[in-house]
Amino acid sequence: MKPTIETLNLFKLASGDEFFLQLYQFIGKKRNKKVYIQSNLHGSEIVGNAVISQLIDFLSTLKKSELEGEIWLLPVCNPLGTNQRNHFFSSGRFNSYDGKDWNRIFWDYEKICHNLDEFVQENLKFDSLTIQENFLQQQKIAFSKQLEKINHPSGAPLFEQYRYQLQSLSMDANYVIDIHSSSNQCIDYLFCFPGEQENSAKYFQIDYGILMDTYDGDAFDEAFMKPWLALEKKFEKVGRKINVDRESWTLELGSGMKMNPQSVTIGVKGIINYLVKKGVLKLEHYSLISNEITLVSRQNIRNYYAPTGGMIQNRLSLKTRVQAGDKLYEILSFNKRGYLPEVIQVCAEKDGFVFDVSTNYSVNQGDYVLALCSINLEHLC
């Protein structure tokens, strides 16, 4: 099966140059379900591009009959972010023009959908599938106002035009997968919404997940999922359980500015396994794998910031287990007051393991140094 390749115009620059997105679509026999996968929304988080490239290779080997639904893949989904540099380093987390985080800009229907009670009453008589179709139509009508605004003579700022592109590609999907990594160095993990979705998390073959019991606001995964979760809740309130066939995932595959082969393999295998579980891929002789995943609350992740300026030394490596009071790292701190340099020790506040570490070993006071996940895991020695 060959993908349909579509090139979409994104922006035109002052110089006359233009940015494009390129979408790869695999269409199965039926078009009953849609999967949308994108990568590199944050500019330094390039790992997902390798994952998508390998998924394209894999899907190209399949017969049309092995795909039930359609899979849309959008690698390098943020060309402005991907190309951004500070000296040798890719940054690309924030739009350098307006300072906004590229993953906190998305249009969230849940925030403006004020007639949900009315919608529930009008739709009680329908089955789950029709309810979802009606809700999606309502969401699309509200979203189309965004395009009207963009097309007005007064226009819209760049971030609104950009999010319109990505969300118009993904809004009607059943399953959305947004592939990121740490900006620094990190283990592989995923973000999971509480509820039904927790049962699916174990099919990604990733060992850790953060349960999204609080929201950062306007992230891509949230903007997709929050309206559906609100819908589900409203129906539950009137005693009706509807089966919303929508899931939204952010995969965090390892470190920034890298495509660690192990993280790439985990991403590719996990996504294929998940799509088999969801009935999108019908692969003969495939045995589904599910593994234990430890889901922790966001509150379990504690960032450590440098108490003073200096150079980081003797820092514990990723996954090292610690107990409260154990030394995490030292700061070699210089001064301009006539004293010798000193070494300052920083210790763990709680038991846990090293979850993420900064790439830069030189810190100003208040710079990020590492993150601890405060759970005790026996196998993480």
> Which residues contribute to the site for Zn ion (CB under 5 A)?
42, 45, 180
Q: Which is nearer to Zn ion, 33 or 42 (CB)?
A: 42
- What secondary structure, in 3-state letters, does the chain show? CCCEEEEEEEEECCCCCEEEEEEEEEECCCCCCEEEEEECCCCCCCHHHHHHHHHHHHHHCCCHHHECCEEEEECCCCHHHHCCEECCEECCCECCCCCCECCCCCCCHHHHCCCHHHHHHHHCCCCHHHHHHHHHHHHHHHHHHHHHHHHCCCCCCHHHHHHHHHHHHHCCCCEEEEEECCCCEECEEEEECCCHHHHCHHHHCCCEEEECCCCCCCCHHHHHHHHHHHHHHHHHHCCCCCCCCCEEEEEEECCCCCCCHHHHHHHHHHHHHHHHHCCCECCCCCCCCCCCCEEEEHHHEEEEECCCCEEEECCCCCCCEECCCCEEEEEEECCCCCCCCEEEEEECCCCEEEEEECCCCEECCCCEEEEEECCCCCCCC
Q: Which is nearer to Zn ion, 40 or 174 (CB)?
A: 40
Q: Give me the least distance between CB of 252 and Zn ion, in Å please.
A: 7
Q: Give me the least distance between CB of 344 and Zn ion, in Å please.
A: 31
Q: Which is nearer to Zn ion, 80 or 231 (CB)?
A: 80
Q: Give me the least distance between CB of 24 and Zn ion, in Å please.
A: 21
Q: Which is nearer to Zn ion, 48 or 352 (CB)?
A: 48
Q: Which is nearer to Zn ion, 26 or 102 (CB)?
A: 102
Q: Give me the least distance between CB of 186 and Zn ion, in Å please.
A: 11
Q: Give me the least distance between CB of 315 and Zn ion, in Å please.
A: 23
Q: Give me the least distance between CB of 223 and Zn ion, in Å please.
A: 15
Q: Which is nearer to Zn ion, 37 or 59 (CB)?
A: 37
